[in-house]
Amino acid sequence: MAGLPPVYIVSVARTPIAAVERAGIESKEVNEIYFGNVLSAGLGQGPARQCAIGAGLPQTTIATTVNKVCASSLKAIILGAQNIMLGTSDIVVAGGTESMSNTPHYLVGLRTGVKYGDQTLNDGVLKDGVTDPYDMEHMGIAGELCAREYGLSRKAQDEYAIKSYKKAQAATEAGLFTEIVPIEISSGRGKPSYKIERDDDIKNLDIDKLKAKGPVFRPDGTITAPNSAPINDGAAAVVLVSEAKLKELNLKPLARILGW
């Protein structure tokens, strides 16, 4: 990265609108937005564009949706940083959003005509999210192969998961997750809405149950439901700026991107 113009992160939040507001930047200053999204079925055209408009960014803001599976949001940040380094942008919002709970099931074949007999619904999370399209194997199988190759025992994975849960719980109680933006969720007609203002999954740690759970993907495997990543919904965004814009707007940097 030597010799390239510096890129700074000036804001972090769980929604793009809060990221821009917390940076103290006017929305019209944002040149473009890169947002990662993998499970796009049923979301409508251009999820990144929808995020931009929903965040109050002007329609002139360039919006690009990135799908690099689990690395989508990181790639979105890299693309934003590269554009700033090239001098084509000064302020970029980058991040990602995913709602696995809203991913639809697919009924393949209806468009061309269904023949006699039963039809099968395909789970969009499995089809487009966690299944290798070449070997048709679940991501968990790949995880088992990696665990075996690098000698990662069941005990080591359980201990890592427990440590991760405890660190997240402690950080939440200490008020360190200020990037979380509370949102109101509708419960349906006639029911009161409720507010989400902290990560929901971290409260579910039960160490005895975690250690007792059997493997999910192979009978002799080491990966279980509680020691691996759960199915979740979420979003996050950062605001990237050039050094010139940092000085012009008198912004306070949180970090400088040194490489990837």
Given a cut of 90, whether residue 1 has pLDDT beyond it is: no
pLDDT category at 128 given cuts 50, 70, 90 is very high
Domain 7-102+233-256 in CATH 3.40.47.10: yes
Given a cut of 90, whether residue 145 has pLDDT beyond it is: yes
DSSP structure string for 29-84: G--EEEEE-S--TTS-S-HHHHHHHHTT--TTSEEEEE-BTBTHHHHHHHHHHHHH
Summarised one tens digit per residue, pLDDT across range 65-106 is 999 999 999 999 999 999 999 999 999 999 999 999 999 999
pLDDT of 53: 95
Summarised one tens digit per residue, pLDDT across range 198-237 is 888 888 899 999 999 999 999 999 999 999 988 889 999 9
Smallest CA-to-CA distance from 230 within 208, 204, 206, 212 is with: 204
Given a cut of 90, whether residue 245 has pLDDT beyond it is: yes
Of 19-33, 58-72, 183-197, 231-245, which range is least confident?
183-197
Amino acid letter for position 101: S
Smallest CA-to-CA distance from 147 within 211, 206, 220, 81 is with: 220
SS3 23: helix
- Phi, psi angles (nearest 5°) of residue 74: -65, -40
Given a cut of 80, whether residue 6 has pLDDT beyond it is: yes
Would you say the pTM of this structure is higher than 0.85?
yes
Domain ranges of the chain: 7-102+233-256
pLDDT category at 159 given cuts 50, 70, 90 is very high
pLDDT of 187: 76
Given a cut of 80, whether residue 133 has pLDDT beyond it is: yes
Phi-psi category of residue 44: left, alpha or beta, with phi > 0 → left and psi -120 to 50 → alpha: left
pLDDT of 209: 95
| Element spanning 149, H or E | helix 139-149
pLDDT category at 147 given cuts 50, 70, 90 is very high
Do the Cβ atoms of 11 and 249 come closer than 8 Å? no
- Gap between the Cα atoms of 221 and 147, Å rounded: 9
Neighbouring residues of 27: CB distance < 8 A, sequence distance ≥ 6: 20, 55, 56, 57, 58
CA 177 to each of CA 30, 96, 149, 182: distance values in angstroms, whole numbers, following the listed order: 25, 18, 35, 11
Percentage of the chain beyond pLDDT 70 is 100
Query: How many other β-carbons are positioned within 10 Å of the β-carbon of residue 121?
Result: 10
Given a cut of 90, whether residue 64 has pLDDT beyond it is: yes
Given a cut of 90, whether residue 178 has pLDDT beyond it is: no
pLDDT of 230: 87
